[in-house]
A and B are shown apart, each in its own frame.
Chain A
Amino acid sequence: MWCEPMSDVCVRVEELGKRYRIGSVRRANTLRDAIATAVRGSVRRNPRGREDRQTIWALRNVSFDVREGEVLGVIGRNGAGKSTLLKILSRVTEPTEGRVVVHGRLGSLLEVGTGFHPELTGRENVYLNGVILGMKRKVIQKKFDDIVAFSGVGQFIDTPVKRYSSGMYARLAFAVASSVEPDVLLVDEVLSVGDAEFQNRCYERMHGLSAAGRTVLFISHSMPAVKALCTRAILLDGGRVAGEGAVDEVIASYLQAGARPTADGFIPADAARIGTGTIRLRRVVVEDTGGQPLAQLFLNQPFCVVLTLEVLEDTEDAILEVGISTTDGTRVTTSFSTDGERPAERLGRGWYEVRLDLAPGLLPRAYVVDAGVHHLGQGHLTIDFVERVLGLTVLNESETGHDRHIPTPTRGLVRPVGHWLLPRPVSIPGGGAKP
């Protein structure tokens, strides 16, 4: 019914923009706040200017087309506008400007388990979830046996899902979600991180659909997955399209675009961030144990991540996060300030320096450091988070020059602290008697 003669374009995104009000801390969520805001607004001389400062364009001037049968990867770091794009494509929210035109039915693998109710049985949830995902009851009836078989839940199908293990729960939810047969599939990889089996199922599903000529939009952090699955890619940065084209080229430009800190480690003002902003990370550097700044580490060399924070509003429950990821976006390890039962930090307004001593045993390769501050409460609401804030290379060489890693690609990412006891002769009862 939407068929203008526009060849085989399946999804058309035109000049899309989405403006959000920020300062969610002061969001008018009760009538009293709204009245107070209104009163304050009328007293101020320029209430409009104030509003402008409190809004942010999560997405601006974004245009692209997706052709039928294409698998388009959408990449970009946190805060680049990926989730906003996803929300607009899935019609959960409306854009502030521009529009999206989708031809055909759209389904998504992002809402896996949406509408699942813990009190209901597996069977009841299959129907409920299926209907929520837009299937007709008769269709679900027809597919029911396949869904159960695919989920592997088997005899537990009439047990309330609150008694399921998290794996069973996810498998059943995925089985329902993937039984929908959309013309355009949206996949949000972020939500499937953490369970390799689940991820693989998502990838298989994408493969299957694209082989059947369906269109897939894959929104992802994982460069290897995008490389393996997509036929074309788009790079979002700061809410704009920063690159579009062949997967390899777009990924390369993504990997080059870090936060580009200044030489003394200060984070540039235009760096992409997410969070409420009541605390700001201002500087991140890696130092050796003697306090000298480093960009390269020897194998097994302990180091120190130094964060400089500006606290703009008193915060009762701050947690600091330092993450280390490979350059293609795979998180290797994360350290929270609350690890080891440390309490959350109480920070009054002002500037702070925080030091984290680490000896993660990284194997030789290039890494990036992500850093952030979150609330302990409020569902770990993020205060400030900067991805790829700086790069870090681990050399294939130890400080003393004697300890050398044997580089093979299959050795993983970290080398644990281990102590091998030298071979010593043992005598096995009856040893050596076997033919």
Chain B
Amino acid sequence: MGRPGVSARGFTNPARRTARAELRELWDHRELLFYIAWRDIKVRYKQAALGVAWIVIQPIVSIAIFSLLFGRLLKVPSGNVPYPVFATAALLPWNYFAGALTRASGSLVASASLYTKIYFPRVVIPISAILGGLLDLAISFAVLIGLMLIYGVSPSLLVLTLPAFILLASMAALAFSLWLSALNVRYRDVGHLVPFLVQVWMYATPVVYGADLIPQRWRFLLGLNPMTTVTEGFRWALVGGPPPGSTTSPIVVGGSLMLVCVVLLGGLAYFRHTERTFADVV
């Protein structure tokens, strides 16, 4: 195209592109990523009378129940931190992860009307579903801050490590939802599976209990769960729990990171392989 003033962009279909070209394309669509995330947030709270208040109401109720059930009745040990603060510090990242995984897994089916009419990198859809959860996470910090003020727990400079754990939770959510969202396009069973999976996963993650409650010989299994690193990390950074990996070993933490990488790369490959027929199958 020799016409001046016109971008020399073009494409072929089918496209044979390198991973680098695809990353650049994703970068070119970063605004779309944010707009879709923004739309989802906006629509989620638009016609709810309590609107954004739901973001804090839901964890408050869960924490009240957990504190009563696990803190008071079952007396789950929470170190030298009051149980409500102990539970909240782990519940925030867990809720973020669970919400992100659930929404992202259903996102390709929910947004079918978009990518069956117009082209853009489809991976934008699950990624923005995960991004959309970050705002909820930020707002729900209000609950934790409130509880920390009430119980007089003050954080240390370790707070600065939080972004790393949020990143890990996001990567874990993306890794698994790449598989689940793409599978969901063909097999709607995934829609039934995910809520169940999330429920089981929560009890396999130290959210309502601490990792040290688990017998030593099972801890490495718990430690391979990347969300263990995230919830333990949140407690360590915010309310002074033991550092992540201290209940097992750094090698197990490394193993959980490896697991995320493997699932993520596999998920990307599977997603790339199946996305070319999404529009035909969905």
Contacts and interface: CB of A to CB of B under 8 A. Distances in A.
B118 A101 contact: no
Per CB-CB distance, the 4 closest pairs between chain A and chain B, nearest first, are: A91-B119, A111-B117, A94-B276, A103-B10
A136 B7 contact: no
B200 interface: no
Contact of A114 (B2, B114, B188): B114
A1 interface: yes
Interface in A251-295: none
Given A94-B277, A95-B13, A128-B36, 17 more contacts: A1-B10, A2-B12, A68-B3, A89-B13, A90-B117, A93-B279, A93-B280, A94-B276, A103-B10, A104-B6, A105-B7, A114-B117, A114-B118, A120-B43, A128-B35, A131-B32, A137-B31
Contacts of A99: 12-14
Contact of B13 (A32, A91, A104, A108): A91
Nearest to A129: B35
Interface string A8-46: 001000000000100000001111101000000000000
A345 interface: no
Given A30-B187, A120-B43, A183 B6 contact: yes
Contacts of B35: 127-128, 131-132
Contacts of A415: none
A303 B44 CA distance: 55
B63 to A, nearest CB: 30
Contacts of A128: 35-36, 39
A115 B114 contact: yes
A167 interface: no
Contact of B117 (A92, A105, A213): A92
B115 A92 contact: yes
8 contacts: A90-B119, A93-B276, A104-B10, A114-B113, A115-B114, A117-B39, A119-B47, A120-B42
A290 B10 CA distance: 62
B11 interface: yes
Interface of B: 1-3, 6-15, 31-32, 35-36, 39, 42-43, 46-47, 113-120, 186-189, 276-277, 279-280
A30 B279 CA distance: 17
Given A10-B1, A93-B280, A110 B42 contact: no
B31 A3 contact: no
A168 to B, nearest CB: 20
Q: Is the interface of A mostly helix, strand, loop or mixed?
A: loop
Contact of A108 (B1, B9, B118, B188): B118
A32 B82 CA distance: 48
Given A91-B119, A101-B12, A131 B114 contact: no
Contacts of A103: 1, 8, 10
Contacts of A134: 120
A132 B35 CA distance: 9
A92 B276 contact: no
A249 B2 CA distance: 32
A34 B1 contact: no
Nearest to B275: A94
A114 B114 CA distance: 6
B187 A29 contact: yes
Contacts of A3: 1-2, 8
B47 A102 contact: no
Contacts of A110: 117
Interface string A131-142: 111101100000
Contacts of A100: 12-13
Interface of A: 1-3, 10, 20, 28-32, 34, 68, 87-95, 99-106, 108, 110-111, 114-115, 117, 119-120, 124, 127-128, 131-134, 136-137, 183, 213
Given A119-B46, A128-B35, A132-B120, A31 B10 contact: no
A100 B119 CA distance: 14
Contact of A29 (B1, B117, B188): B188
A120 B39 contact: yes
B103 to A, nearest CB: 16
A104 B118 contact: no
A393 B32 CA distance: 53
Contact of B10 (A101, A120, A137): A101
Contacts of A133: 118
A358 B2 CA distance: 58
Nearest to A140: B31
A28 B115 CA distance: 21
Contact of A91 (B11, B114, B277, B280): B11
Contacts of B2: 3
B14 A95 contact: yes
Nearest to B115: A92
A92 B116 contact: yes
Nearest to A104: B1
Contacts of B120: 132, 134
A28 B186 CA distance: 8
A173 B280 CA distance: 25
Nearest to A114: B117
Contacts of B11: 91, 101-102, 106
Nearest to A100: B13
A16 to B, nearest CB: 9
A69 to B, nearest CB: 10
Contacts of B280: 20, 93
Given A1-B8, A102-B10, A104-B9, A92 B119 contact: yes
Contacts of B6: 104-105, 183
B188 A111 contact: no
Nearest to B43: A119
A114 B3 CA distance: 30
A133 B118 CA distance: 8
Given A92-B115, A119-B43, A105 B279 contact: no
B31 to A, nearest CB: 5
Nearest to A213: B3
B1 A183 contact: yes
Contacts of A115: 113-114
B101 to A, nearest CB: 19
A127 B42 CA distance: 14
Given A105-B7, A120-B42, A92 B279 contact: yes
Contact of B14 (A68, A94, A137): A94
